[in-house]
Structure 1
Amino acid sequence: MPLWRTICIIATCTLAMVANISSNSAVSISLPTMEEDLDIPVAALDWVVAAYPLSNGCLLLLFGRLADLYGRKLMFLLGSAWLLVFTLGCSFAQDPDTLDILRGFQGLGGAATIPACLGILAHSFPPGKARAIAFATFAAGAPLGGGAGVVLGGLLTELTPQSWRSPFYLGCGITVLAMIGAIFSFERDQPSKEVDRRVDWIGASLVTSGLVLIVFVLGQGEVAPEQWATPYIIALLIIGVILVLTFIVWQYHLERVQNATYQNTPYPSPHSRFLSLSQLVLRWLPSPPPIMKMSLWTRAHGRVAVVFCVAFLNWCCFQGWTYWVILYYQNYVGYSPLRTTVRMVPMFVTGLLCNAFVALFVGHVPMTILVACGTALTGCSALLFAVINPNAAYWAYGFPSAIIAVVGADFVFACGTMYVAKNCLPHEQSVGGAVFQTMTQIGTALGVTVSTVVYDRVLASRAADNGITVSSSTGSDEPQWLTLPAYKAAQWSCFAFGMCGDYLVRICLDDDTNVSTSQRAP
């Protein structure tokens, strides 16, 4: 491959990641401005953030499968065009309901482009130093996108007449550049070599519906009429869990059918009448290749599943930290978006340095050390805000927290995606990356939700003790002495997620785990 094409492929995929991540970080920094301009209820602000990962995380598996089957370049271009249209649409929203809907449709574009990028990188670069550089640079798009979203989003929100609408224009420009790069650098899609090219629409419907309901409940549980005791919240949560469990059973069944077909062996006979009846029912249904092989989770002696879970917990911590730090600076301290932006800049610098470190040393340092150190440092960033003294200088708590917060996200993403790619077959690369991305997106929704629940409970408890009625879930209208313990409690919950991820790494991954060796046969 010519050098110019190598550089252009990596740059294009990185730009796609920048566009995907900045879509959320730019919105986060603009939340208080949106609240005032569109008269959004403070308790519903988290839904503006959660709408994007809702659709994004719930459709990654389907789009990953379609990319592997019909072409990654095609899926990338279609996803980028979709993202461009609805990002531009968000900039014209005139009410919160319209913005929420457009944000949900916007997430579909990212769901199509990111799995395609992971598949393109894994296909273009064989295991080795080149792949390490490619994946580390792609992972650098996350802090670059987060930094661009926060820094440029804050500047544009503060200094331009269009205010919070300007960051959406920026996202459109980045997406256009990525589309141009893809047209000229990505290789033409080759026909899939799979014998059975059917799409598991039943599985796609089950997992998409289940995840949509679960993430919806996570976003709405705190603002429902009776909060988590609201009947429709309970019902939707139960239905969502049942659909996801049914999806798992269905994927297990399809994989066994496919294995029996290609090995010319009969489908294993069950030993009970109930299983015989269920098998009879299943055989009346189509049996295409599963959209996600359940054996993917058991590869490398289960370490792939551990990597997925660590990514989930780390994003719970990191995104929860980001959400509450921005609200702390703007609603509690009273900083403008621009002053808040300046205090988040160290994240951007550290993120780039971390990914450069991964590119240079991932073949020499065990993945366990990188991931364990990263999750621990991200957890400690939340700890600093959990014990923060508002009267102390920024350099005492805010600066070190911003420096170390992004380390876990960068190390886990770069190492995790490489490790998953190494344990996937060539026709599974986009699906493997989609599963990893799905775990991070669900982690984003759950981290913000759980920390919001903790915040609200502590705020309500403190208010009840002092005979005060609270009116919001982010404390913008409450006295500072009342909201500070609630902000700290939210960060304690983020710290707990980070430490759970770190503990999982230490007990389940061994020091020999490496991401740069030759590809394994699953």
Structure 2
Amino acid sequence: MTSIGLGPAYAISVPYVGKDLHIQKENLQWILNAYSISSACFLLLCGRLADLYGRKRVWLIGYLILVVFGIGSGFAQSEKALDTLRGIQGIGSAAVIPASLGILAKAFPPGQSRSIAFATFSAGAPIGAIFATVLGSVLTQVTKATWRTPIFLLSGVALASMVLGFFVFEEDEPSTEEDTRVDWIGAALITAGLVLIVFVLSDSPTARKGWRNPHIIALFVVGVLLVFLFVAWQYYLERRLENPDLPRTRWTAPPLMKPSMWTRAHGRFAVMQTIACVNWAAFTIWIVWVELYYQTYLNLSPIHTMLRLLPMFASGIVANILIALTIGRFDVMYIVAAGTLLTGCADVLFAVIDPSAPYWAFGFPAACLIVLGADFTFASGTLFIAQVSLPHEQSVAGALFQAMTQIGSAIGVSVSTIVFNSVLRTQSRRLGVVADAQGDNVPLPAQLKAYKAAMWTGFAFGILCTLLCVFLRGAGVVGHVPDSPAHPNPEEGVPVDEKRQESADQKHHATP
């Protein structure tokens, strides 16, 4: 919950950070993006390290990074120092999240208890976000408009969480894999590739020429090329791993991510990961543009903005209670489809919003629906991924799911910002006004059309997700015990060597 809440705590106080540290408006985004980029790009490596060397150990190290560099961020006196500290802090989040999913998957066997555990974990997103938003809003406004107080407080909460986890979590068991080396070549390729891609997606909306800027295109092409090289390298390592006659060398460690994972459950593993990416784009679009709409279009204070987002807290709790009670009764395809459709509905409410209408007409139902949609998709998606993944790769599978949501967030912000800026310029010209580089002094009617256009973009992402759910047909019910006929078979598409590894894992866990 704490690692999720660090983003909203900064988001609500970004304007005050800019004033205090004299940061130009176009550079304010990097206070948030530095954390998001490092978090997204180190997830896969941290997930693999957690599976190999202990999930509790990686979890504690992650929280230690969050605490130390969170405190450091609170003392930052310059833009570069803050961005650097936030970037390193994101690595802590990348360590905590996949390790948490691995701990849950190990502690709770498939069944109702696992459904409740994963639903509770999913509740951390809305609870953490709203908790941080409330603290950030109130403390930012009442403590002489400073952004440092909520950051120190959340760092203290992170420290308390780390101490609690140290005493509560069971000790790590040694990995059952014969070869516990780390594929550092693959780690370097995927980390560098994702850094470039997410950086471009984050920077392109505010770059002077956007996607027409040569360095934006060049970095994006290099990033995509590195990701393709990573996939090819992982395929090569997996093929070598399947052939026991080939000798082992210092360069051929087990793959960081087996490409065959994406074929699990007849390819539904890949479909679920894609849905997570696209749905999170729709979710992030709502979060980003609603906060801007309230603060820059309606000119509401941080506290008044927070009050309008507060229903998300209760909605998140309700959503995860519903997931815990129903996940073992309905086909996961219908639950995910309902979630993606609700996300799209939340976006469309702001796409057609009437600013003169009362909050209860558009803002309130949208705040309730957006969390219902996100949590339905997140909770059922993580359960499905856990059930079609083998015991020794739970953290990696969870890291992939989280990385896809982070990439989706970057895509959503980038695409919706391009749409927003394009509509803003077009509407300004129609009204005979030339918008400046910062988009300031633009007539309110032009701003409103631009906000609505961004929200229509989110709606399109949400509906695309709903259509993709067709490819989950036959996935079955998640949350049942493995012998249940409705349960998806985790061995569908699993190579023989991995089945042997799973058998070894089960024997290891059954040994007193």
Deviation, structure 1 residue 376 = 0.6
What amino acid is aligned across from residue 449 of structure 2 in structure 1?
Answer: P
Q: Within 2, Cα distance between the matches of 1:76 and 1:286?
A: 28
1:286 and 1:367 mapped to 2: Cα distance? 40
SS at match of 2:435: coil
Aligned to 2:208: 225
| 2:164 alignment partner AA | G
User: CA contact under 8 A between 1:42 and 1:472: conserved in structure 2?
Assistant: no
Please give the per-residue CA displacement for 1:139-176, whole angstroms capped at 9, x wherever unaligned: 11011111112222211111223622222122212211
Equivalent residues of 2:114, 2:479 under 8 A apart: no
Letter in 2 for 1:462: Q
In the TM superposition, what is the alpha-carbon distance from 1:469 to its structure 2 partner? Answer: 2.5
How far residue 515 of structure 1 moved from its aligned partner, in angstroms, is 4.0
The letter for the 2-side match of 1:306 is: V
Shift of 1:438: 0.3
3-state secondary structure, aligned to 2:449:
helix
- Distance in structure 1 (CA, Å) of the matches to 2:472 and 2:163: 43
**Cα distance in 1 between the residues matched to 2:254 and 2:479:** 27
Q: Which letter does structure 2 place at the counterpart of 1:506?
A: V
Give the C-alpha shift of residue 309 in structure 1.
Answer: 0.6
1:283-327 alpha-carbon deviations (Å, 9 max, x no partner): 987211110111111100111111101110111011111001001
Amino acid of the residue matched to residue 401 of structure 2?
F
2:181 counterpart residue number: 198
Aligned pairs for 1:77-96 (under 5 A) are 77-96=60-79
**1:51 Cα deviation after fit:** 1.7
2-side partners of 1:84 and 1:353: how far apart? 30
Which structure 2 residues correspond to residues 24-103 of structure 1 after superposition, within 5 A? Answer: 24-103=7-86
Q: Contact 2:265–2:475 (CA<8 Å) still a contact in 1?
A: no
Deviating above 6 A after TM superposition, structure 1's stretches of 4 or more consecutive aligned residues are: none
Conservation of the 8 A alpha-carbon contact between 1:369 and 1:511: no
Alpha-carbon offset, residue 513 of structure 1: 4.2
State the partner residue of 1:13. none
Listed as ranges, the matches of 1:277-296 within 5 Å are 286-296=251-261
Contact 1:70 1:192 (C-alpha < 8 Å) held by counterparts: yes
Could you tell me which amino acid in structure 1 is paired with residue 456 of structure 2?
A: W
Letter in 1 for 2:490: R
Distance 1:250 1:124 in 2: 33
For residue 334 of structure 1, what is the amino acid of its counterpart?
N
The SS at the match of 1:471 is coil
**Is 1:506–2:474 an aligned residue pair?**
no
Cα deviation 1:195-229 (Å, max 9, x = unaligned): 11110000000000000001111111132233212
AA in 1 matched with 2:478? N
Match among 459, 467, 478 for residue 495 of structure 1: 459
Supply the AA of the counterpart residue of 2:178. V
Corresponding residue SS for 1:470: coil
Q: Distance in 2 between matches of 1:46 and 1:455?
A: 16
Moved more, 91-100 or 130-139: 91-100
CA distance in 2, matches of 1:511, 1:205: 34
How far off its partner does 1:514 sit? 2.7
CA shift for structure 1 position 501: 0.8
Q: 105, 119, 123: which one pairs with 1:140?
A: 123
What do the CA deviations read for 1:24-50 (whole angstroms, capped 9, x no partner)? 122222223333333333333333222
**TM-score, scaled to structure 2:** 0.91
Specify which of 302, 326, 344 is matched with residue 337 of structure 1.
Answer: 302
Inter-CA distance 95–125: structure 2 relative to 1 (3 Å threshold): same
2:436 to 471, 490, 493: 471
2:464 corresponds to which letter in structure 1? C
The farther-off stretch of 506-515 and 410-419 is: 506-515
Instruction: Give 1:495 deviation, angstroms.
Output: 1.0
User: Contact (CA 8 Å) 2:383, 2:478: kept in 1 or not?
Assistant: no
Match of 2:504 in 1: none
* Unaligned 5+ runs, structure 1: 1-17, 268-282
Q: What residue number does 1:10 align with?
A: none
Corresponding pairs, count: 486
What amino acid does structure 2 have at the position aligned with 1:19?
T
Aligned match of 1:117: 100
1:199-348 matches, within 5 Å, as 199-261=182-244, 286-348=251-313
Q: Which residue of 2 aligns with 1:153?
A: 136
2:507 corresponds to? none
Identify the residue that residue 9 of structure 1 maps to in structure 2: none
Q: 1:374 is aligned with what amino acid?
A: G
Q: 2:28 & 2:467 partners in 1: Cα distance?
A: 32
CA distance in 1, matches of 2:227, 2:475: 33
Question: 2:428 touches 2:443 (CA, 8 Å); kept in 1?
Answer: no
Aligned-partner Cα distance in 2 for 1:478–1:103: 32
> Residues 403-482 of structure 1 correspond to what in structure 2 (within 5 A)?
403-472=368-437, 475=439, 477-482=441-446
**Alpha-carbon distance, 1:191 to partner:** 1.4
Cα distance per residue 1:354-384 (max 9 Å; x no partner): 0011112211122112111111111111101
- Aligned with residue 4 of structure 2, among 5, 15, 21: 21
Amino acid across the alignment from 2:4: I
How far is 1:462 from its partner?
A: 1.7
CA distance in 1, matches of 2:166, 2:41: 27
The one-letter amino acid of 1:514's match is V
Counterpart CA distance in 2 for 1:389 and 1:42 is 28
Distance 2:407 2:315 in 1: 25
Change (3 A) 1:471 1:91: farther
Ranges in structure 2 where 5+ consecutive residues have no aligned partner: 483-488, 495-512
After alignment, is 247-256 or 216-225 more displaced? Answer: 216-225
| Code of the aligned partner of 1:218 | L
Q: 169-178 or 334-343, which moves further after superposition?
A: 169-178
Query: Which residue does 1:520 correspond to in 2?
Result: 490
* Counterpart residue identity of residue 83, structure 2: D
Q: Would you say the 8 A contact 2:50–2:395 is kept in 1?
A: yes
TM-score (norm 1): 0.90
The 3-state SS of whatever aligns with 2:434 is coil
User: Match of 1:181, as an amino acid?
Assistant: L
Residue 56 of structure 1, CA deviation = 0.2
